[in-house]
Amino acid sequence: MKKIIEVSFFSLTFLSSFLASLQAQDALPKVIEKAPAVLAEKSTTLFNGKDLTNWDGDPDLWSVKDGVIHGETTPEHPANGNTFLIWKGGKLADFELRFTFRCNDSNNSGVQYRSKHIETPQAKNKWVVRGYQHEIRNEKKLPNVAGFIYDEGGKRGRLCLAGEKAIWENGAKKVVGQCISDQEFESLFRLNDWNDVVIIAQGSRIKHYLNDRLILDFTDNDPDLALKEGILALQLHAGKPMWTEFKNIKLRDLSK
Tens of pLDDT, residues 146-172: 999 999 999 999 999 999 999 999 999
Three-state SS string across the chain, please? CHHHHHHHHHHHHHHHHHHHHHHHHHHCCECCCECCCCCHHHCEECCCCCCCCCEECCCCCEEEECCEEEEEECCCCCCCCCEEEEECCCCECCEEEEEEEEECCCCCEEEEEEEEEECCCCCCCCCEEEEEEEEECCCCCCCCCCCCEEEECCCCCEEECCCEEEEEECCEEEEEEECCCHHHHHHHCCCCCCEEEEEEEECCEEEEEECCEEEEEEEECCCCCCCCCEEEEEEECCCCCEEEEEEEEEEEECCC
Query: d(Cα 48, Cα 34) in Å, to the nearest integer?
Result: 28
**What pLDDT was estimated at residue 4?**
47
Instruction: Quickly count: other Cβ atoms within 10 Å of residue 198's Cβ.
Output: 21
Among 15-24, 131-140, 146-155, the range scoring the smallest mean pLDDT is 15-24
* Mean pLDDT value across residues 37-49: 89
User: What is the pLDDT, as a whole number, of residue 11?
Assistant: 53
Q: Quote the pLDDT of residue 18.
A: 45
Burial string for 58-96 (b: 16+ CB within 10 Å, else e) reads beebbebeeebbbbbbeeeebbeebbbbbbeeeebbbbb
Is the confidence at residue 198, as pLDDT, over 90? yes
**Domain map of the chain by residue range?**
1-30, 32-253
Distance of CA 105 to the CA centre of its chain: 15
32-253 placed in CATH 2.60.120.560: yes
pLDDT (0 to 100) of residue 239 = 97
End-to-end CA distance of the chain: 70
Q: What percent of the chain has pLDDT over 90?
A: 86
| pTM of the entire predicted model | 0.89
Q: Lowest mean pLDDT of 8-22, 45-59, 132-146, name the range.
A: 8-22
**What digits encode the pLDDT tens for the residues 93-125?**
999 999 999 999 999 999 999 999 999 999 999
- Residues of 138-166 as b/e, b for ≥16 C-beta within 10 angstroms? bebebeebbbbbbbbeeebebbbbbbbbb
Task: Give CA–CA dist 242/71, Å, rounded.
Answer: 8
What is the structure's pLDDT at 3?
Answer: 47
